[in-house]
């Protein structure tokens, strides 16, 4: 049983590995709380600090400032052995890295002393429905990337670890395998309630596996919440645009007489306290725009049928603005034709264009 608390954690590096910048803030003032059994996904673009944050939580990096507490004890005061942390990386290395000597002998020792294979490992094999037993008889060199990851995860769970940290473990797998592996891991995490942090840049994976998602950008956590919260109540433009597919539609505009006025349409009431002529960005998701006579005209640029979702995505443009809306599959829409779009006013989001902060 382990709760993890991060209090104002920051981490800098002397020189950036990629850009060569002399000083990099990889993680900046991050505060988080994970309860026992939580699965938190850290989602963000490449280079935003996800791996560094995970390594801080693992105790591999030390924070420059701030504290990390495991069950109210500063991680620095918890001996390595007692931390009970397992890590699974993209490259398939089977950690805890500080026990690498043991890891090397793992496959062999299992092969020679089958009766000592923990009951738990059998349970894991049953839950995942994969022939772990067979896999265990092979050496790492004889395992595919996906199999190595499965063994890594199974082994971490079989060892009674309290905290499992994943750094894009399935990123190197092909799409079909990745989906399967994700389902298996979800089953395992349900069956073994360890506290988990799952780093990914893939939002489908984050949604599938986690209870909550932390959106990270340039070292900072922008927002933490369920996917639903992030999707419908983003705190800023970055979260609004990062979450959801297709990306949310953004329209530039200004406040005029208490209303938002865009380049091609407008007249939607805004917060009263905004100074006249403030720059305001309006955002609306594709599924909240629809076809209707008398709406805003747009010239059809692209039509993409989404068979599973039973709709088509239509991208249109008008006088320098482009947006995407959904339409039923059975409506025939010609490229280059003009269609008329309306939007659900209740679903509009407004952001301060300068700061990106949500204002309505
Ligand atoms: N050991 C290191 N030394 C110098 N810079 C680093 C080191 N590790 C990471 N960085 C830099 O910190 C930033 C965040 O990196 P990282 O945590 O790996 O991001 P992510 O996992 O989100 O892709 C990047 O600019 C990266 O180049
Ligand atoms: Mg990384």
Whole-number pLDDT of residue 52: 97
Q: Which two tokens stand for residue 19?
A: 């850009």
**For residue 55, which ligand has an atom nearest its CA?**
1
The pLDDT, as a whole number, for residue 162 is 85
Ligand 1 centroid from CA 143, angstroms: 29
**For residue 219, which atom of ligand 1 is closest to its CA?**
14
Going from the Cα of 85 to the center of ligand 1, the distance in angstroms, rounded, reads: 21
pLDDT on residue 140: 62
| Number of the ligand closest to the Cα of 49 | 1
Residues 6+ apart with CB under 8 A from 144: none
Distance (angstroms) between ligand 2 centre and the Cα of 180 equals 22
> Mind listing the pLDDT tens digit of every residue in the chain (360 residues)?
789 999 999 999 986 666 766 688 999 999 999 999 999 999 999 999 999 999 999 998 999 999 999 999 999 998 877 788 888 877 654 443 333 334 433 443 444 444 545 666 667 777 766 565 666 666 666 667 777 777 777 777 766 678 999 999 888 778 888 888 888 888 888 888 789 999 999 999 999 999 999 999 999 999 999 999 999 999 999 999 999 999 999 999 999 999 999 999 999 999 999 999 999 999 999 999 999 999 999 999 999 999 999 999 999 999 999 999 999 999 999 999 999 999 999 999 999 999 999 999
Ligand 2 center–CA 219 separation, angstroms: 12
For position 109, what pLDDT does the model report? 44
Give the tokens for residue 223: 């927002």
Look at residue 322 in the predicted model and tell me its pLDDT.
97
User: What CATH code would you report for 4-240?
Assistant: 3.40.50.300
Ligand nearest to the CA of 60: 1
Alpha-carbon dihedral angle through residues 28, 32, 34, 38, given to the nearest 10 degrees: -80
Q: Which fold has domain 247-352?
A: OB fold (Dihydrolipoamide Acetyltransferase, E2P) (2.40.50)
The pLDDT, as a whole number, for residue 247 is: 96
Strands 163-167, 195-200: pairing kind? parallel
In the chain, the N- to C-terminal Cα span, in Å, equals 40
**What is the structure's pLDDT at 142?**
66
What are the boundaries of each domain within the chain? 4-240, 247-352
Q: What is d(CA 214, CA 206) in angstroms, rounded to the nearest whole number?
A: 9
Query: In this structure, are residues 350 and 281 in contact, taking their beta carbons and an 8 Å threshold?
Result: yes
Task: Specify the pLDDT at position 119.
Answer: 67
Specify the pLDDT at position 166: 92
Residues with CB under 6 A from ligand 1: 13, 15-18, 24, 26, 44, 46-52
CA neighbor of 128 nearest in space, from 136, 140, 137: 136
Ligand 1 centroid to Cα of residue 43, in Å, is 15
CA-closest residue to ligand 1 atom 24: 47
Q: In what order do the strands lie in the sheet with 259-262?
A: 266-269, 259-262, 249-256, 279-284, 349-352
Pocket test for ligand 1, best of 20, 25, 28, 49 (most atoms within 8 A of CB): 49
| Closest residue to atom 18 of ligand 1, CA basis | 51
Distance from C-alpha of 203 to C-alpha of 198, rounded to nearest angstrom:
11
pLDDT given for residue 181 in this prediction: 82
């Amino acid at each position: 049983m382990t709760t993890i608390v991060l209090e104002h954690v920051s981490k800098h590096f002397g020189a950036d590995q990629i850009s060569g910048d002399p000083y990099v803030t990889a993680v900046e003032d991050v505060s988080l709380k994970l309860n026992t059994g939580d699965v938190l996904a850290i989602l963000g673009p490449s280079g935003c600090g996800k791996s560094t944050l995970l390594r801080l939580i693992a105790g591999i990096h030390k924070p420059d400032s701030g504290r990390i507490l495991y069950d109210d004890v500063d991680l620095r005061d918890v001996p390595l052995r007692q931390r009970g942390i397992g890590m699974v990386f993209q490259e398939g290395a089977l950690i805890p890295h500080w026990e690498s000597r043991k890891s090397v002998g793992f496959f062999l020792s299992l092969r020679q002393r089958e009766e000592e294979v923990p009951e738990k490992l059998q349970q894991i094999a049953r839950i995942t429905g994969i022939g772990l037993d067979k896999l265990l008889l092979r050496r790492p060199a004889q395992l595919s990337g996906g199999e190595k990851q499965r063994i890594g995860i199974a082994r971490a769970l079989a060892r009674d670890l309290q905290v499992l940290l994943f750094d894009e473990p399935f990123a190197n797998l092909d799409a079909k395998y990745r989906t399967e592996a994700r389902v298996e891991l979800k089953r395992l995490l349900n069956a073994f309630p360890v506290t988990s942090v799952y780093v990914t840049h893939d939002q489908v994976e984050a949604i599938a596996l986690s209870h909550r998602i932390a959106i990270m950008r340039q070292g900072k956590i922008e927002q933490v919440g369920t996917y639903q919260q992030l999707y419908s109540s983003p705190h800023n433009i970055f979260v609004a645009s990062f979450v959801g597919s297709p990306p949310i539609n953004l329209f530039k505009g200004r406040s005029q007489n208490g209303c938002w006025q865009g380049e091609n349409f407008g007249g939607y009431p805004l917060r009263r306290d905004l100074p006249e002529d403030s720059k305001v960005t309006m955002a609306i998701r594709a599924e909240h725009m629809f076809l209707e006579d008398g709406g805003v005209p747009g010239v059809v640029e692209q039509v993409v049928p989404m068979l599973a979702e039973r709709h088509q995505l239509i991208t249109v443009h008008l006088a320098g603005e482009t947006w995407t809306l959904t339409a039923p599959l059975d409506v025939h829409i010609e490229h280059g034709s003009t269609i008329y779009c309306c939007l659900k006013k209740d679903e509009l989001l407004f952001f301060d264009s300068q700061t990106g902060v949500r204002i309505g």
